[in-house]
Each structure stands twice: as structure tokens, then as C-alpha cells.
Amino acid sequence: MTEQNAAPQNGAEQQKKTVFSGVQPSGKLTLGNYLGALRNWPAMQEENRCIFSVVNLHSITVRQDPAALRRQTLEVLAQYIACGIDPEKSLLFIQSHVPAHAELAWVLNCYTMFGELSRMTQFKDKSQRYADNINAGLFTYPVLMASDILLYQTDLVPVGQDQKQHVEIARDIAQRFNGVYGPVFAIPEPLIQGPGAKIASLAEPTKKMSKSDQNQNAFVLLMDKPEDIMRKFKRAVTDSGSQVVRGEGKDGVNNLIAIYSAAAGCSPEQTEAEFAGKGYGEFKQAVGEAVVEVLRPVREQTERLLADKAYLEQVYAEGARQAARAAERTLEKVYKKVGFVKKPF
Ligand code: ATP
Ligand code: LTN
């Protein structure tokens, strides 16, 4: 990102909206992450001030292998770029490199209610899934996410459907804080786009496709080889019907229709029309092929980028520098408002 985009703006620059989003490096990215989030981001960078972070502080709410976490962090960064995010136009950084995120999270913890965090669906799901590690970080995860968003005076947060509730709590926290101290934070809005906003597991289509699923056949990874992608779609759970139409209780087919539509860039209605009179077997083959084609350039570009660690390092170093400057401005305002004595250096 050019300097002027991170600095206070004037004229036309002032009209730009600020966009912030992030992905956890808690595993390898899935087709759900891609169709629900990443894929929609490059188009936004032409007209907005875009900031994308690899949110590694969030990932340790679940136990991670340190070496794998380090590797996955660079992989996610490479995949951002491979998906079309241009480091010259957008600000890309690793969350732990900007201490303001953890600092603001502490303050906002004191403006977030136990009751509202208890209602978060992701907390309920994850505390069931990781019953032996229901740590405080898992509980306050949405406060850290609110800090990510609010530090940059964000207007829009492009995410998948599952994160809507978290963006809403960020709005609530911002409004509460502004209500006490005056207008400190911009009030962000979630941006949930297209048929890819809610991709389900291929093995259990009532659940979301998640990179931390134990079952390898539940997800397609961005880095999967074409033959693996085809095999996973061939095995995808459907139902006893045969027509490629959406319907109540047809979660598997509904999901494949959403995936095909998102991958081929058409509406679910167009997908149904295209496959009228064709069976599930033929449809699954077509979904697999469409996904292979969409992911191929992303996989190849990611591989090239991962071979150039020096370039990635340069991108995240510059990103951290610019992000820290922007974040520090908001943090300073917050510290002043709550009554902290000004830092002497
Ligand atoms: P984890 O399984 O480790 O909790 P995750 O796969 O849900 O992670 P995140 O890093 O939490 O991935 O999400 C990154 C982005 O991808 C978010 O915007 C989220 O809404 C989106 N996303 C994740 N899973 C899906 C899905 N199945 N369908 C659509 N969007 C998704
Ligand atoms: N919780 C998000 C990841 C995330 C995020 C953010 C997304 C952390 N901070 C800020 C948007 C904006 C998730 O996808 N699970």
C-alpha cells in the first residue's frame, strides 16, 4: 500500500471507505474461506482503503503447533497475494506485529459484557469442540476481533456469514464506547457477499466447512491437487433424490449448487437451469471441475510466492510499519479518553 493510503487523507482519498478483514492461520485455507471471504477482496482494493491481516493472535485460542503456526502464517499471507490482493494497493500485515491490537483488546474487554459474549455462537460451538480447553481467550475472541476492526476506523468488514455476529458485537462495543466518550470509533458494517457466503462441509452438509475439521473429506483446501478435489466432490454427501434443484432438507445439494454458482460466477437459478434433467453424478463432476479451474491459478501462484520468502518478509514488514502507525492514532485517542496519562515517549 502506498504511504498516502495509510496516512490521514484529503480530497478524493477522503471518500474512500476503509475495509478490514482477516483470516486465522489455524490451518490450511479451505474453499469456504476462499468463496466466502478472500475471493471478494481484490475487487474492493480499487476503490477503498483495504487492510487485510493474518490474525495469528486469534488462532492460539485453540492449541497450535508452533512450527506449523509459523508456516501457516506465511502461507495465508502468500494466499492473500495469490488471490489477487496487491500489496501496492492494500495493506497486508501479521496481527502479532502490531501490538495495538492486544492493547485495545484489553481496554475493550472492560466495555464488553459477560452476557453478550456468552451468546456468541462460535464460542458455544468451539467450547463444545474443544471441551478440554475452554480458555478465556476463546471467550474474549470477539473483543480482539472488534479491536482489529475498530483500530483502523473501518467502515466495511467483508466476511462469510458465520462472522456476522462478531461484526455486530464490534458495532455494539463501538457504539457503547462512543456513547460514553464521544465519537472515537467509526461504526463498521459486515459485508456478506454472494452464494459463497456460507459453504458447508462436504461430509456433513449441515455443518460449515471448516479448516479445523478432523475429517479430511469435509473440506477442499486451496492447495489440494486436482485429483484430490475431484475425489472429494465425488464422495460429497447428497440425498436420495436425483434432480439438481435446491430444497428443504437437501443440504448437500444446496451446498454443491452454492459452490458451483460461486465458482462459475452465476446465480443458483442459472445453475439449476444448466443442470436440469442431469443427475447428481454428472453435477458433482462439473462442480469438481469448476473448483479445480478456480483454484489452479491460486495454488500455482501461492507456490511461487512461498519460494520467495524475502519478498513475503518485505511485504509484511512494510505492512506492519504502516498498520502500526494507523492503529497507534486510534489507540492514543482511546487512552486519552479513558484517562490514561500520556506516554512520555
Ligand atoms: P476455524 O475452522 O479455524 O475456526 P475457519 O475455517 O472458520 O477457521 P476463519 O479464519 O475463521 O476460518 O475465517 C476466515 C474467513 O473465511 C471469514 O471471513 C469467514 O467468515 C470465512 N469462512 C470460513 N468458513 C467459511 C465457510 N464455510 N463458508 C463461507 N465463508 C467461510
Ligand atoms: N474471526 C474471524 C477472523 C477475524 C476477522 C477479524 C475477520 C479476526 N479478526 C477482523 C474480519 C475482521 C474469522 O473469520 N473467524
- Asked if 157 contacts 167 with a C-beta cutoff of 8 angstroms, the reply is yes
What does the pLDDT look like over 26-73, one tens digit per residue?
989 999 999 999 999 999 999 999 999 999 999 999 999 999 999 999
What does the pLDDT look like over 185-222, one tens digit per residue?
999 999 999 889 999 999 999 999 998 788 999 999 99
The pTM assigned to this predicted structure is: 0.93
Q: How far is CA 72 from CA 24, 69, 209, 302, in A?
A: 9, 5, 18, 12
- Tell which atom from ligand 1 comes closest to the C-alpha of 200: 27
Write out the catalytic residue numbers.
126, 208, 211
- Tell which atom from ligand 1 comes closest to the C-alpha of 209: 27
Q: What is the dihedral of CA 96, 100, 101, 104, to 10 degrees?
A: 150
SS3 content of the chain, % helix, strand, coil (to 5): 60, 10, 35
The three-state DSSP-derived secondary structure of 246-282 is CCCCCHHHHHHHHHHHHHHCCCHHHHHHHCCCCCHHH
C-alpha cell at 188: 463498521
- Tell which atom from ligand 1 comes closest to the C-alpha of 163: 20
Q: Which residues lie with the beta carbon below 6 Å from any ligand 2 atom? A: 20-22, 24, 55, 58, 145, 148-149, 157, 159, 163, 166
Whose CA is closest to 155, among 192, 182, 177, 185? 185
Given this model, what pLDDT does residue 3 score?
46
Average pLDDT score over residue span 248-272? 95
Beta bridge partners of 51: 20, 91
Average pLDDT score over residue span 229-246? 95
Checking if the pLDDT of 100 tops 50, the result is yes
Residues 6+ apart with CB under 8 A from 199: 30, 31, 32, 35, 36, 160, 208, 209, 255, 258, 259, 262
Whose CA is closest to 105, among 61, 156, 73? 61
To test the pocket of ligand 2, the residue of 19, 20, 21 to mutate (highest count of ligand atoms within 8 Å of its CB) is: 21
Q: How far is CA 304 from CA 77, 108, 171, 242, in A?
A: 13, 40, 39, 41
